[in-house]
Structure 1
Amino acid sequence: MQTHAGEDLIERILAHPADGDLVGSAANDLLSELYAGFPVENLARLLHSGDDRILPTATWLLSEIAELAAPLIDELPALLSSPIRSVRYDAIAVALENADEQHGPIVAQVMDLSRDPDSAVRWKVLEFLAEASVEQLEAGAACLPPGQVKELAEWLILQDDEEPDLAGIVIRLEAGDPVTRLFAAAAAASLSHKEDTNLLEHAAMVEEEEIRSFAQERLSELREDDSGNVDSF
């Protein structure tokens, strides 16, 4: 563990927040240091620098180190409510990797971002909803206030059943409002596989670009996986 190298990189980022090339290079080197054992707690200095030019870099680093970010999970509520789009976006990725049933309020906060005004953030919420465990979803739903998002979260959880509401998913994709369609698309992604892509194909035709692009990406992944697993003789 090269502690001094990591500390020097943090100092470099703090001292030159306006130099995009320098910060980007230092951030990549710092990422390597974090993987090598530099304590993630040191990123708190960047998170609390008070400089909005540094916060996106700090949050990106957290999103890149996956479960290694766990010691700083208490930073997520502030990051998820940041006015900076990229900070909210990357904080959702951190939540997916690190928030469990003990972090219901954090998961609920992510779910509530399904109404975020930014389409990129909504895309990331959709990814979270499609990939989160049932335990994560249940913890978040339990912490949501009564209303549309809570009802949709509870409905999404019910789709992890032997008899999911396939017709209901299609109806919500075709006739629902944008938030409803987002949750329905998450259900479609969770239930789709290479033998049956019907639900994702419905999601790929909705009005919202973030849902269409997400569904199209998942369809491409399924097709690539299928083509890569052709039997050979």
Structure 2
Amino acid sequence: MRTQLGDELIERIRTHPTDDDIVGTAANDLLSELYAGYPVENLGRLLHSDNEVVVRTGAWLLSELVELAAPMIDELPALLAGPIRNVRYYAITVALANADGRHGPIIAQVLNLSLDPDEAIRWKMLEFLAEASIEQLEAGTSCLPPGQLKELVEWLILQDDEEPDRTGIFLRMEEGDPVTRLFAAAAAASLGLGLLEHAAMVEDETIRSFAQTRLKRLREED
């Protein structure tokens, strides 16, 4: 019975968090069960654990489910605010796939992670900023207080125009503070090879790495 197998896999993860092989195998098997119809809501038993490995595994599963994770969107505020880097990273993926105009506070919380000093989170935020829809960005910025971050999101929205501020994007990538550079690079990622190639040569390692990855993907698609 599928429900029984899914429950057994969850308990295996919960009771063997120090055994990487058991957790890894159980997580992959559980992902297959989730795709086959095992209720995603049951992942709450992992996400609410006191064990870091168990919570991280639950967050990874949500991120792998993409849109199928939608029923768990109310879990995102706690995951985004948590101390575990991997959990915040995975939660950004879930938000990008599932948050919409109804979820302004959640998107605003994601946008605040642009201020996170962790390089992995900054890289993931670049992906979010480059791929988020205008609806998502507008919903998020409506819930941000006045200040630099709100202004940067509003500026990024304006770049989705027939005449984006290409000169401003160049200058912000070269001369802006770390957060400003992040938003400029996100704009560059949406505006063609020229700006993206420039981003791939800037000094900021996070931006350079992200841009190089995007360029490689674009060239493989051609």
Identity over the aligned pairs, expressed in percent? 73
| 1:94 aligns to 2:94 (yes or no) | yes
1:102-160 CA distances to partner (integer Å, 9 max, x unpaired)? 11111111111111121001100110010011000100111111111111000000011
Which position in structure 2 is the counterpart of 1:211?
207
| 1:62 Cα offset (Å) | 0.2
Structure 1 portions without partners, runs of 5+: 227-233
Deviating more after overlay: 110-119 vs 57-66: 110-119
Which position in structure 2 is the counterpart of 1:231?
none
Distance 2:213 2:52 in 1: 32
Which position in structure 2 is the counterpart of 1:29?
29
Which position in structure 1 is the counterpart of 2:61?
61
Distance 1:82 1:208 in 2: 26
Distance 1:32 1:223 in 2: 32
Correspondences of 1:107-118 after superposition (within 5 Å): 107-118=107-118
Distance 2:18 2:214 in 1: 37
Which position in structure 1 is the counterpart of 2:82?
82
Moved over 6 A (4+): none
Letter of the 2:119 partner, please give it: S
| 1:225 Cα offset (Å) | 2.1
Distance 2:5 2:145 in 1: 45
Length-normalised TM-score, structure 2 = 0.97
Distance 2:120 2:18 in 1: 24
Structure 2 portions without partners, runs of 5+: none
| 1:52 Cα offset (Å) | 1.7
- Note if contact 1:173-1:202 (Cα within 8 Å) is conserved in structure 2: no
Letter of the 1:115 partner, please give it: L
Q: What is the RMSD computed on CA atoms of the aligned residues?
A: 1.0
1:82-102 CA distances to partner (integer Å, 9 max, x unpaired)? 111100101000000000011
Deviating more after overlay: 158-167 vs 24-33: 158-167
Which position in structure 1 is the counterpart of 2:17?
17
Length-normalised TM-score, structure 1 = 0.93
Count residues with an aligned counterpart.
Answer: 222
